[in-house]
């Protein structure tokens, strides 16, 4: 999906621009919208009225005006009624609202109900299933959609054929040069625009991975050093235990227990802190995943396994040493 701002002669020549572009390679659908569909900021509470509205009742709508192919292009689902159609002349005065708007308006059997927005009077022809008109930080707002293909502002959206983005961009550049020659082609890719809504989260994610990796490496080196130090200072004890009949597995278990105990204590301290910080971070999003206990259980298991792997070789080496050599050297 590509979009470009309406500027220069694109408004007056929109119909010509659309017809020319639809005949070019790589182009699937062309439509327009008063706002970018992923970042609708404009909001109005009045003057919107509807049939059955109670006194002093109003809804803060996110309004957008689109072309006839908007519903198809954005692959929106119609929960009730139908979408806009070029074949029905009265649809230029029709409206669609989303499910959130319908709830706040309190309408039952909304299809056909009269509605007035700005200086436009019409009726509701369809209910659009809720979809995100901004980032997941914000709750879905009431949305009202009408058809206006003669707006002097907004964006033109171009949906490309699968795998033909390069061809579509070439076609777009050619047609823009013909229809709007005084303005260079300035376009945005919608997937990149969606990604920009979460750029700060991606930066935090990358930094977290880097610093978490460094912390794990440093911790493992610390554990390895502690294991080497401990086994070095307990050489005589290990030798005596082996002479008295202790098995290698018993000695490995004895030495490992001390290190794993430290890891378990660290996990018990850090898990509640981690849960609290993650819960606060997720609370910034109106829509987010729940914090499941299995995430923390898996993390604890991974930490213990990593710690055992870090000290395992050293403890095995100490437990496998000939006790005669250990005692003689001591």
pLDDT on residue 220: 84
* Residue ranges making up the domain that contains 209: 199-329
Shared domain for 177 and 212, answered yes or no, is no
Shared domain for 145 and 291, answered yes or no, is no
pLDDT on residue 69: 92
Q: Look at residue 2 and tell me whether its pLDDT is greater than 90.
A: yes
Shared domain for 28 and 159, answered yes or no, is yes
Q: Pick the last residue of a domain from 155, 178, 196.
A: 196
Angstrom distances, CA of residue 210 to CA of 9, 199, 214, 263, 304? 49, 17, 6, 21, 21
The secondary element (H helix, E strand) that includes residue 274 is: helix 248-282
Shared domain for 51 and 171, answered yes or no, is yes
What's the mean pLDDT in 33-61? 81
Give residue 279's pLDDT band: very low, low, confident or very high (50, 70, 90). Answer: very high
Q: Under a CB-based contact definition with an 8 Å cutoff, are residues 323 and 247 in contact?
A: no
Shared domain for 64 and 143, answered yes or no, is yes
195-206: pLDDT as tens digits = 888 898 999 999
Shared domain for 185 and 204, answered yes or no, is no
pLDDT on residue 56: 75
285-329: pLDDT as tens digits = 999 888 999 999 999 999 888 888 877 777 777 666 666 665 565
What's the mean pLDDT in 88-92? 89
Report the number of distinct structural domains present in the chain. Answer: 2
Shared domain for 33 and 173, answered yes or no, is yes
Lowest mean pLDDT among 23-27, 136-140, 158-162, 260-264: 260-264
Shared domain for 14 and 162, answered yes or no, is yes
125-135: pLDDT as tens digits = 999 999 998 88
Q: Pick the last residue of a domain from 196, 215, 235.
A: 196
Lowest mean pLDDT among 139-143, 216-220, 253-257: 253-257
As a whole number of angstroms, the distance between CA 37 and CA 65 comes to 11
**Global confidence as pTM:** 0.74
Q: Under a CB-based contact definition with an 8 Å cutoff, are residues 175 and 25 in contact?
A: no
Shared domain for 56 and 186, answered yes or no, is yes
pLDDT on residue 30: 94
Shared domain for 68 and 158, answered yes or no, is yes
pLDDT on residue 324: 60
Q: Pick the last residue of a domain from 196, 212, 239.
A: 196
What's the mean pLDDT in 252-267? 81
Shared domain for 12 and 124, answered yes or no, is yes
């Amino acid at each position: 999906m590509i979009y470009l701002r309406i500027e220069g002669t694109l408004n007056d020549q929109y119909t010509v621009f659309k017809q020319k572009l639809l005949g070019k390679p790589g182009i699937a659908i062309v439509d327009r919208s008063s706002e970018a569909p992923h970042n609708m900021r404009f909001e109005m509470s009045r003057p919107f009225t509807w049939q059955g509205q109670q006194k002093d009742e109003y809804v803060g709508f996110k309004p957008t005006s689109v072309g006839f192919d908007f519903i198809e292009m954005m692959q929106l689902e119609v929960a009730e009624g139908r979408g806009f159609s070029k074949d029905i002349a009265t649809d230029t005065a029709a409206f669609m609202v989303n499910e959130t708007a319908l709830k706040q308006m309190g309408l039952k059997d909304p299809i056909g109900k009269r509605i007035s927005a700005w200086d436009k009077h019409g009726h509701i022809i369809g209910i659009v299933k809720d979809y995100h008109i901004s980032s997941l930080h914000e709750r879905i707002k009431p949305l009202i959609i009408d058809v206006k293909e003669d707006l002097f502002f907004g964006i033109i959206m171009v949906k490309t054929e699968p795998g033909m983005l390069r061809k579509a961009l070439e076609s777009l550049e050619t047609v823009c040069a013909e229809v709007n020659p005084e303005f260079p082609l300035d376009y945005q890719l919608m997937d990149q625009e969606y990604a920009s809504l979460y750029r700060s989260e991606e930066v935090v994610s990358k930094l977290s991975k880097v610093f978490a990796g460094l912390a794990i490496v440093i911790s493992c080196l610390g554990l390895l050093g502690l294991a080497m130090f401990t086994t070095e200072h307990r050489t005589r004890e290990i030798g005596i235990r082996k002479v008295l009949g202790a098995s290698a597995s018993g000695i490995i278990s004895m030495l490992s227990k001390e290190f794993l105990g430290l890891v378990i204590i660290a996990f018990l301290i850090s898990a509640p802190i981690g849960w609290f910080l993650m819960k606060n971070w997720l609370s910034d999003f109106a829509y987010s995943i729940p914090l499941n206990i299995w995430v923390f259980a898996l993390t604890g298991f991974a930490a213990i396994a990593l710690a055992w792997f870090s000290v395992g070789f050293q403890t095995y080496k100490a437990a496998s040493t000939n006790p005669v050599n250990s005692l003689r050297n001591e």
